[in-house]
Amino acid sequence: MSHFSSQATEIVLELVNDITDLSELENLDFSRLVHERAENECSYNGECIEIIDALESDYHVHVDNETMEVELSDYNTVMRAYAFQLAVVAMHDAVSNAVSELKANIELYNEEVERLADHYNTDIDLDTCSNFGDCEYGWEAHNYETNDGVMIWSDEKVSCAYNPNLLEGESVAVSFKVLGCTYINTCFAPSK
């Protein structure tokens, strides 16, 4: 179900916004939010049937024996439990994919920031100086983009993109869309 991937993005971003150090990304626990979302997906019998139809062939899960030992007259309970388990497994898979995408994009972003820091002979701690959110520097004003889509604001001379007045020579800013509509942003002052 494609909306699980958008929900997974929301879950990841909800937790990522609470971290102050990017190295904490490895330790995030998504279980509570995944279970809440899966429970919301299984509110009605019709939703449960849709989940089972859409996910059963891709995600084989076992519902606890206790759940399966209900009387046949309580089919809805069994169906909801099964749909819930399918939704949890699918949501965890989608969250895992979103985290992988986020990590890969952060790696691309970090490489570009480190290249710029080297260019300007500046030390920069990416884990503590970067933040997640909207593109803070005005997307339309960036000097250029890398092939991967990292946006750069600087007085760095790049063919057809030079704008020495953009940040008045005081700062270099970098922004990159890392997941959904969320950007990672860094701004630093070059060493003089």
Q: Using CB atoms within 10 A of its CB, is residue 187 exposed (0-12), middle (13-18) or buried (19+)?
A: middle
The verdict on 145 and 88 lying in the same domain is no
Regarding whether 172 and 132 lie in a shared domain, the answer is: yes
For the chain, helix (H) and strand (E) counts, in that order, are 6, 5
Q: What is the pLDDT of residue 140?
A: 64
Pair (146, 98) in one structural domain: no
Same domain for 108 and 126? no
Indicate if 98 and 184 belong to the same structural domain: no
What is the span of the domain harbouring residue 173?
122-188
Q: Give per-residue pLDDT as tens, 11-54.
A: 988 888 777 666 777 778 889 999 999 999 998 999 999 999 99
Residues 95 and 21 in one domain: yes
**Strand 131-133, strand 144-145: pairing:** unpaired
pLDDT at 121: 79
User: Do residues 10 and 71 both lie within one domain?
Assistant: yes
pLDDT in tens, 118-160: 877 778 776 656 777 777 666 666 777 777 777 777 665 553 3
Evaluate if pTM is beyond 0.85: no
Question: Residue 129: inside a domain, yes or no?
Answer: yes
Q: How many domains does the chain have?
A: 2
117 part of a folded domain: no
Whether residue 98 is found in the same domain as residue 143: no
Tokens of 151: 């946006």
Alpha helices in the chain (DSSP H): 3-16, 31-41, 45-55, 65-68, 75-119, 126-129
Q: Are residues 62 and 153 in the same domain?
A: no
Same domain, 69 and 144: no
Q: How far is CA 172 from CA 81, 150, 190, in A?
A: 52, 13, 7
